[in-house]
Structure 1
Amino acid sequence: MPEVTEPPVTAPSAAPRVLSGPQRALQKLGLVRDIDLALHLPLRYEDETRIVRIADAREGQPVQVEGVVSDCRVEQRSRRQLVVTLGDGSGELVLRFLNFYASQQKALAVGKRLRVRGELRGGFLGREMVHPAVKAVDADTPLPASLTPVYPTSAQLPQAYLRKVVAAALARAPLGELLPEGVVPHGLPLLRQALLFLHQPLPDVSPATLEDRSHPAWQRLKFDELLAQQLSQAMARRERAALVAPALRERADGGVHAQLLATLPFALTSAQRRVGAEIAHDLATPQPMHRLLQGDVGSGKTVVAALAATLAIDAGWQCALMAPTEILAEQHFHKLIGWLEPLGVQVAWLTGSRKGKARTQMLERVASGAAGLVVGTHAVIQDDVLFARLGLAIVDEQHRFGVAQRLALRRKLAGQAGLAAAQESGDSPANTTAHVRPDHADRARAPLEPHLLMMSATPIPRTLAMSYFADLAVSTIDELPPGRTPVLTKLFADSKRDAVVERVQGEVAKGRQVYWVCPLIEESETLDLKNATETHTRLGQSLPGVAVGLLHGRMPAAEKAAVMALFTAGGIAVLVSTTVIEVGVDVPNASLMVVEHAERFGLSQLHQLRGRVGRGAVASVCVLLYAAPLSDAGKARLKAMVETNDGFEIARRDLDIRGPGEFMGARQSGAALLRFADLTDDAALLAEARRLAPPLLEREPRAAAAQVERWLGTKAEYLKA
C-alpha cells in the first residue's frame, strides 16, 4: 500500500502573523490547511468554455457572448444607469448596470472587446443583460478548457481570489492514496483525480451527475468520508473496550433492584423487561456500557432507568441521572424519590438554581457516597461536584444537550476514574453499606470508567444508527403501556382561534386540563408571533372563572416549580407555556394541547409536545395553530403530525426534512459532520464503509488513523459526544 506520511509540523513564529482580510475570511470558513481548501467544493459551475452568437442566444437562459462596444452612455431614469451596447456582427444587445463606478464606465468604453456572461431577457429597447459578468479580452484570448467553479464564500472573499488559492492548494495538498488496494470500490477514481475533476470539470460532463452527486468523482469523496466516519466509530469502540468498568451484577440475595420490581404499582411491558435485561447484561461486564435506550413518548423509559440505577446501588456504586431542563429533571426527581426512598435509597437533587447551604449539603452527600442516586441538570457535571463511587451515568434526551456539554459529561465521567480506582482498591466510603465485590482483581488498581446509558424519546432512524451512532448498543422500547389512547391531531389556521378557545372552554367544563404552548415569551420586533405573556392575558379574559397559569424558562426556579405543582394537582385548568414542558411532564388529566405557530416548531419538538397529552384514559386532542403562508418544510412537518403518531416514522421524516446534523444536535458543534455524503441517497456506500472499517482498522491502523485525520480532523471527537 502507499506509504502514509504525517503532515509537516510548522514551528510557531516569534510574533503572530498579521492576516489580510481574505486570509481572515478563509480562516473563518475553516479553510486553514491545504486539504481544507482542496475539499472546499463548488456550489455550482458556469460554462465559460463556449461563445454563443448574439443572434443565436436564447432569452431566459445564461449565455456567454463576445463583442465590441458600439455605445456607452449614462441614462437618467428613475435612477442613473450605465447602458452599454455590444455587437458581434450577428446582432446587438444592451448591457445595463444599475449600480456602477466611473472606472467601470471607462473600462466599457466604445471600441472595447468584451466577453460577457449573464441571463438574456427581453427589454423595452430590445434584448438585454442586467449586471452581467464582464471581462475585457483580445480577439485571440483563449476560452477556458473546463467549467468555472463557483464556491461557497463570504463578502470578504471574492470568487477570483478563492479560485486562485484553491488551485494552489490542490497542487500542494497531500492527496496521495491512504487506503490499501481493494478497499476503494471498483470503478472509482483516485482521490486526487476526483478532486481535480470536481474543481474543474470538463464541459462535456453531464450536468445532472454533478448536481445529484452521482458522478464517480463524487462517489469517491462520499465513500472516503463515510469510511472515515466508520473508522472513527470503530476507534471509539476499541478505546472503550480497553477501559475497565465496575461489574454491577444483580445481587443473589435480592437488594433494592428486587424490592423495586416487587413494589412498582404497575406491571412492566414485555419491551421494558427485554431492554432491562439488555442493560443488566452490559452492566455486569467489566467493560464500560455505551448504550442508547430509545422509545416513543410515554413508553416508560424512566422506570427502566430506575431499575438500572438500582443495579449500581446494589453493587455499592452511585448513579447520576442528568436531564436537559430543570422541569424534566424535577419530574424525574419526584418520581424516583417516590419509588426509591421508601427502599432506603437517598436521592440527591442538583441544579444550577440550587445555591448556598442547601447545595453544599447536597455536594457533601454526593462526595461521601451517602447519596446513591444524583438527579439534576448539567449542574451534575460542574467542577465542584465530586462523586465517591460513580458507577453509572444516565443522560436523558442526550441530543438536546450541546455537543460541548456532551463532551464535558464524558470528561467528567473519566475524571471520576481516579476516585473510583481508589475505592475499588479498598478505600470504600464509610457509609456505603451495600455489598461490594471487587471484580478482576488483577486490574483492581486500573482507572475505572463509569457505565453510560443515554435515553431518547426521539427514535434513531436506521441510517443514523449505522453512522453517527455506530459505536452505540441500542435498546428499543417498541410498545406503550396499556391504557394509553392515541392522540388525535388537528390543524387550524390562526383565523380559527376563537373556535379553538371554545374547545378549551369545553374541556375545562368537563373537568379536564389544557396546555397552550407559545414559541416566545415576550414581544419580538422581528417575529410576528403570539407570545406567552400576551396569550396568558387574553385567555384569562376569554375564560372568566377559569384558572389560567403561566410557565416559561425565565421564571425563577421556585416559581416554575410552584406553577407546575399547582397544575399537576389540578389547581390550574389551562397552562400557557413555552416549550419548557416539551418533555417529561406527566399530567394524566390533561386532554388538550394547543400549539401556537406550530409551523415554527421542529417535527420532533411537535411530537414531544403532543406527548404531554393522551397520558390517561381520556381521549385527547392536539391542535396545531398555524399562520399562512407555510414554507415547504412547514407543510411537510404539519402533514407528518396529522398522518402519524408513530415516533419512529416521525423521526424518519424529521431526518429527511432537517438533515442529520440538526437532528442529532451536531450543528451546535459549528460544522456538519457529513459534508458530502447523504445518509438516504448513499445507503449502499454507508453499508460498504461499515463492512470495511473494522478489518481495515485491525490490519492497517496507521492508514485508518490517517484517513480519519484527513476527513474529520477534530470533528472525530464530536462523534463520541
Structure 2
Amino acid sequence: MAVATPAAAAGAPAPPGAGLSLVQRALRKLGLVRDIDFALYLPMRYEDETRIVRLADTREGDLAQVEGVVTESEVAFRPRRQLLVNIDDGSDTCQLRFFNFYPSQQKQLEVGARVRVRGEVRGRFIGRTMMHPTVKAAGTSLPDALTPVYSTIAGLAQPVLRREVRSGLARAALDETVPESVGISIDAQEVWDLRRALSFLHYPTPDVAMATLEDRSHPAWQRIKAEELLAQQLSQLQARRERAAQQAPPLRSMTSATSLYAQLMAVLPFGLTGAQQRVGEEITRDLERSIPMHRLLQGDVGSGKTVVAALAAARCIDAGFQCALMAPTEILASQHFGKLVGWLDPLLAERGLRVAWLTGSQKKKERDVMSAAVESGEAALVIGTHAVISEKVRFRRLALAIIDEQHRFGVAQRLALRGKAVGHLEPHLLMMSATPIPRTLAMSYFADLDVSTLDELPPGRTPIVTKLVADHRRDEVVARIQAQLSQGRQVYWVCPLIEESEAVDLRNATETRDELADVLGQPVHVGLLHSRMSTPDKQAVMAAFTANQIQVLVSTTVIEVGVDVPNASLMVIEHAERFGLSQLHQLRGRVGRGAAASACVLLYAPNEAGRVGEAARARLKAMAETGDGFEIARRDLEIRGPGEFLGAKQSGAPLLRFADLETDALLLDWARDLAPRMLDQYPELAQKHVDRWLGTKAEYLKA
C-alpha cells in the first residue's frame, strides 16, 4: 500500500484527512507523510526471530523462539477463563497461557499441530511457561535480520507499519548531502553512508552486538546522529542569518546625566553586580545595531534579571521608542509592574510618559484607557500578560520586546509580539529565563540565540539550607515554623494540588491552611493562595503577605516565580517528590531574599517500603546537595531529557530524536563546525539536508 502520494513526496501534503484511509490517517498522526519520514522512523527495539532454540537451553527471563508439537490444548475456567496449551520440542515441554483468545487461535493450537512460538520463558524450575506468546505455523523460513518493533498508535498494527516503513525506505531518495570533501569523521570507526546505515538500523543482522544498538554506539547510529545534529545546527544558523538580514531600529545610548538610563541608575537602592554590568553592556551593544537583537538572558533565582531588563527598557525609551515586557502569569507580571513603576514612573512622568498595565482580567474601561495610551505612545513601557499581544493593542513605536520566563511561551505568541512592530522594522527581542541552560542545550536548541548569563548573586543574599523530611515528621516541621514566627519571620507552605483527586490522594491546600491555623493559633494569620482565585483576590493575598499581615502563606505553585518577600525565611514544599527539579529550585528561590538565614524543607511521602521512586529520589538528592542553578539544570536535563526540560520553549520545534547531548558532544562539535562552512560553500546541499530531516518544522526556529 503506497501512502506517500506524489504531492506528499514533493513536500506538499494534502489537507488533513482528505481522502485518506484509516491507516493513512494513523500514519499521518505519527508524522509519516513523505518517503523520507518512513526511512527515518527507526525502531524502538528489535525481536530476534532469526533462530530457533531448544527449550532445554532456555533460562528464566529469556525471550526465546521455539518449535514444537502441541500435546495438550484446553480452555480452563479457574482462576479465570484461559486457553492452556502444552508444547513439546523434543528437549523439554512448555505451557502456553492465553487470557484473550479467539476460535481461530484454538484451531491453530489443536493437539498434534506443529507451531513456532516466541515469548518470555518463566518458571523454569516449576515447569516452563509463556504468557501470550506470538504463534506461527512451523516450517516457514527464518528471517535473516532482526524484526523491528516501531512505536505505534491504536489502529496501526506492527505488521502494517513494518510494511509501510519498508516501502517508504525503498522509495526514499537517500543520496548524500554531506559534501564528500568534508565527510563525517567519528573517532576511528568506519563511516557508513546514509542508505546503508538506515537499512541496517531497520533490519540489523543477528550477529550484531545488541548493546551497540541499544546504547546507539554502532557506526550506523553514529551516522544517523551526526546527520540529525547537522540538520539542527544548519536550521538554527539559517534562522540566525535570516534575522541578521532584517532591520531593527538602532537604539543609540544617551550618556548625559538627564537620560532616563542615568536617572534610573541614580535612584536604584543598590549597586549593580559585575555580572549585571557585563550583561548590560552586551545588551547595549546589541540595541545600538540595526540588526534585531535575539538574546537570551539567563540567571539563577535572585540574580537580578529584572534590573537588567529595566535598564534595557530605559535605553529603548531614551531613544524615543516603546518597550513591552510580557510575563506568563498575572502575579509575575504584577511583580514586575510594582518594581518598575516604583523605579520608572516618577522619571517618566517628568517626560509626559507612563508605564501601562495590560492583563486579561482588567475591566474593559481600564483596558481601553491603557490601550489608548499604548497606541498614542504615552505608554513608553507596557507590562502585562498575553493581553499585550491581543489584536486590539497597537503600539506607536515598539522597538524592544522583553519576554520573561520565555520557555512558557510558544512560538506563535512570540511571533505575535514581534508582529507589533511598526512598518518593516523588527523589534529587538530579549528573552529571560530563571532556569539556567546547560552548555549542551545552549549549543544546540539555543544555537540561534546570543546568550547572556548572570552568574553572580547580589550581595546580602543568604545561602538556603535544604532539608529532606519524611511526611511522618510533620510535627517537627510545624515546630520549626513556630520558631521562625517567634523571630518575626514569615513562611511559605506549598501544596501540589488545589483539591483532592480520586487518582492522587493528596492533602488539599484548604485543609492544610485550616490545620496550620488550628495548630499555630492566634495571632498568627494563615493565608491561602491558589490558581482558581480571581486576580484581585490573588493580588490582595500577596499584598497582605508582603506587608506581613499574613504570616504563613499556604499556596499552590502560583508563587513559583517572581514573588519577592525578603522577610520570608522558610519554605515548606509538601509532597516534594511530585515536583520537577527545576520547579523545586524555583520555589526554593522564594526564600533567602533577605538577610535572615533561610531554609527549604522538602516534605516527601515515602511508599510502604519507606522509599520514593528512582527519578524522584534523584531530584530530592540533587536539591539537598546543591543550590547552584546551573548544576540543578544539568541534573534536570540528565533526569528528564531535553524534551521535557525545554517545556514550551519551542512549541512545535524539532527536538532531537536520536542524538543525546551528553554522550554525543563530539558529534555536536562536528556539526557546529561544519554548519557555517556548508551554508557558505554548499548552500543547496545544506537546504536539502534541512528539508530532509526537518521538513516544515524548521520554520519554528525562525520565531
Quickly name the TM-score band, shorter chain normalised.
Answer: over 0.9
CA distance in structure 2 between the aligned counterparts of 1:699 and 1:282, rounded to whole angstroms: 28
Quick one: structure 1 residues 9 and 208, their matched pair in 2 at CA, closer, same or farther if it must change by over 3 Å?
closer
**Aligned residue number for residue 4 of structure 2:** none
1:355-404 CA-partner distances (Å, limit 9, x unpaired) = 31100000000011001100011111111111000010111110122x2x
**Aligned residue number for residue 373 of structure 2:** 365
**Aligned residue number for residue 350 of structure 1:** 358
Please give the residue correspondences for 1:114-263 in structure 2 after superposition, counting only pairs within 5 Å.
114-122=115-123, 126-138=127-139, 141-186=140-185, 187-254=190-257, 255-263=259-267
Measure how far apart 1:476 and its partner are: 1.1
1:237-273 CA-partner distances (Å, limit 9, x unpaired) = 1111101111111114341011111221111111111
Amino acid paired to 1:49: T
Measure how far apart 1:154 and its partner are: 2.2
Question: Are 2:585 and 1:581 equivalent residues in the alignment?
Answer: no
Q: Does 591-600 or 72-81 show the bigger shift?
A: 72-81
CA distance in structure 1 between the aligned counterparts of 2:558 and 2:161, rounded to whole angstroms: 45
Quick one: structure 1 residues 453 and 204, their matched pair in 2 at CA, closer, same or farther if it must change by over 3 Å?
same
**Aligned residue number for residue 417 of structure 2:** 412
Measure how far apart 1:322 and its partner are: 0.7
**Aligned residue number for residue 651 of structure 2:** 669
Q: Paired residue for 1:613, among 580, 591, 598?
A: 591
CA distance in structure 1 between the aligned counterparts of 2:472 and 2:289, rounded to whole angstroms: 59
Measure how far apart 1:63 and its partner are: 1.1
Instruction: Note the residue ranges of structure 2 that are not aligned, 5 or more in a row.
Output: 1-6
Quick one: structure 1 residues 583 and 466, their matched pair in 2 at CA, closer, same or farther if it must change by over 3 Å?
same
Amino acid paired to 2:624: V
Amino acid paired to 1:472: L
Amino acid paired to 1:240: R
Say whether the 8 Å CA contact 1:666–1:673 is kept in structure 2.
no
**Aligned residue number for residue 635 of structure 1:** 617
Measure how far apart 1:123 and its partner are: 6.6
CA distance in structure 2 between the aligned counterparts of 1:10 and 1:646, rounded to whole angstroms: 48
Measure how far apart 1:68 and its partner are: 2.1
Measure how far apart 1:704 and its partner are: 1.3
Question: Are 2:531 and 1:553 equivalent residues in the alignment?
Answer: yes
Quick one: structure 1 residues 59 and 606, their matched pair in 2 at CA, closer, same or farther if it must change by over 3 Å?
closer
**Aligned residue number for residue 475 of structure 2:** 498
CA distance in structure 1 between the aligned counterparts of 2:521 and 2:11, rounded to whole angstroms: 73
CA distance in structure 1 between the aligned counterparts of 2:375 and 2:112, rounded to whole angstroms: 85
- State the SS of the aligned residue for 2:144: coil
Percent of aligned pairs with the same residue? 66
**Aligned residue number for residue 424 of structure 1:** none
- State the SS of the aligned residue for 2:331: helix
TM-score by length of structure 2 reads 0.94
CA distance in structure 2 between the aligned counterparts of 1:155 and 1:12, rounded to whole angstroms: 22
1:410-458 CA-partner distances (Å, limit 9, x unpaired) = 243134242xxxxxxxxxxxxxxxxxxxxxxxxxxxx111101111111
Q: Does 382-391 or 178-187 show the bigger shift?
A: 178-187
Q: Does 24-33 or 217-226 show the bigger shift?
A: 24-33
- State the SS of the aligned residue for 2:419: helix
**Aligned residue number for residue 681 of structure 2:** 699
Q: Does 708-717 or 365-374 show the bigger shift?
A: 708-717
Say whether the 8 Å CA contact 1:115–1:134 is kept in structure 2.
yes
Say whether the 8 Å CA contact 1:47–1:147 is kept in structure 2.
yes
Question: Are 2:686 and 1:683 equivalent residues in the alignment?
Answer: no
**Aligned residue number for residue 316 of structure 1:** 320
Quick one: structure 1 residues 294 and 15, their matched pair in 2 at CA, closer, same or farther if it must change by over 3 Å?
closer
Q: Does 42-51 or 366-375 show the bigger shift?
A: 42-51
- State the SS of the aligned residue for 2:212: helix
Question: Are 2:348 and 1:338 equivalent residues in the alignment?
Answer: no
1:265-316 CA-partner distances (Å, limit 9, x unpaired) = 1111111111111111110111111111111111111111101001000000
Please give the residue correspondences for 1:1-40 in structure 2 after superposition, counting only pairs within 5 Å.
7-8=9-10, 16-20=18-22, 22-40=23-41
**Aligned residue number for residue 569 of structure 1:** 547
Question: Are 2:18 and 1:41 equivalent residues in the alignment?
Answer: no
Say whether the 8 Å CA contact 2:399–2:421 is kept in structure 1.
no
Quick one: structure 1 residues 9 and 407, their matched pair in 2 at CA, closer, same or farther if it must change by over 3 Å?
closer
Say whether the 8 Å CA contact 1:147–1:200 is kept in structure 2.
yes
**Aligned residue number for residue 93 of structure 1:** 94
Question: Are 2:435 and 1:455 equivalent residues in the alignment?
Answer: no
Measure how far apart 1:125 and its partner are: 7.0
1:587-641 CA-partner distances (Å, limit 9, x unpaired) = 1110000111111111111111111111110000101111113111101111111
1:621-675 CA-partner distances (Å, limit 9, x unpaired) = 1011111131111011111111111111111111111111211114883676110
Say whether the 8 Å CA contact 1:42–1:199 is kept in structure 2.
yes
Say whether the 8 Å CA contact 2:654–2:694 is kept in structure 1.
no
Aligned residues, how many? 683
**Aligned residue number for residue 538 of structure 1:** 515
CA distance in structure 2 between the aligned counterparts of 1:367 and 1:410, rounded to whole angstroms: 19
Amino acid paired to 1:243: Q
Say whether the 8 Å CA contact 2:301–2:589 is kept in structure 1.
yes
**Aligned residue number for residue 473 of structure 1:** 450
Q: Considering only aligned residues, what root-mean-square deviation do their CA atoms show, in Å?
A: 2.0
CA distance in structure 2 between the aligned counterparts of 1:12 and 1:686, rounded to whole angstroms: 35
CA distance in structure 2 between the aligned counterparts of 1:99 and 1:12, rounded to whole angstroms: 39
Quick one: structure 1 residues 456 and 18, their matched pair in 2 at CA, closer, same or farther if it must change by over 3 Å?
closer
Say whether the 8 Å CA contact 1:325–1:377 is kept in structure 2.
yes
CA distance in structure 1 between the aligned counterparts of 2:634 and 2:108, rounded to whole angstroms: 55
Measure how far apart 1:470 and its partner are: 0.8
Quick one: structure 1 residues 119 and 105, their matched pair in 2 at CA, closer, same or farther if it must change by over 3 Å?
same
Amino acid paired to 1:62: L
**Aligned residue number for residue 84 of structure 1:** 85
Measure how far apart 1:100 and its partner are: 1.7
Please give the residue correspondences for 1:638-657 in structure 2 after superposition, counting only pairs within 5 Å.
638-657=620-639
- State the SS of the aligned residue for 2:485: helix
Say whether the 8 Å CA contact 1:460–1:651 is kept in structure 2.
yes
Amino acid paired to 1:576: V
Amino acid paired to 1:203: P
TM-score by length of structure 1 reads 0.92
Measure how far apart 1:182 and its partner are: 3.2
CA distance in structure 2 between the aligned counterparts of 1:6 and 1:71, rounded to whole angstroms: 52
Quick one: structure 1 residues 639 and 287, their matched pair in 2 at CA, closer, same or farther if it must change by over 3 Å?
same
Amino acid paired to 2:18: P
Say whether the 8 Å CA contact 2:249–2:425 is kept in structure 1.
yes
Following TM superposition, the consecutive aligned residue runs of length 4 or more in structure 1 with deviations greater than 4 angstroms are 9-15
Amino acid paired to 1:632: E
Q: Paired residue for 1:590, among 546, 568, 572?
A: 568
Quick one: structure 1 residues 282 and 409, their matched pair in 2 at CA, closer, same or farther if it must change by over 3 Å?
same
CA distance in structure 2 between the aligned counterparts of 1:463 and 1:473, rounded to whole angstroms: 14
**Aligned residue number for residue 3 of structure 2:** none
Amino acid paired to 1:369: G
Say whether the 8 Å CA contact 1:666–1:672 is kept in structure 2.
no
Quick one: structure 1 residues 10 and 684, their matched pair in 2 at CA, closer, same or farther if it must change by over 3 Å?
closer
- State the SS of the aligned residue for 1:121: coil
Q: Does 706-715 or 141-150 show the bigger shift?
A: 706-715
- State the SS of the aligned residue for 1:669: coil
**Aligned residue number for residue 434 of structure 1:** none
1:53-110 CA-partner distances (Å, limit 9, x unpaired) = 2333333311111122233222333223322222233333222223222221111112
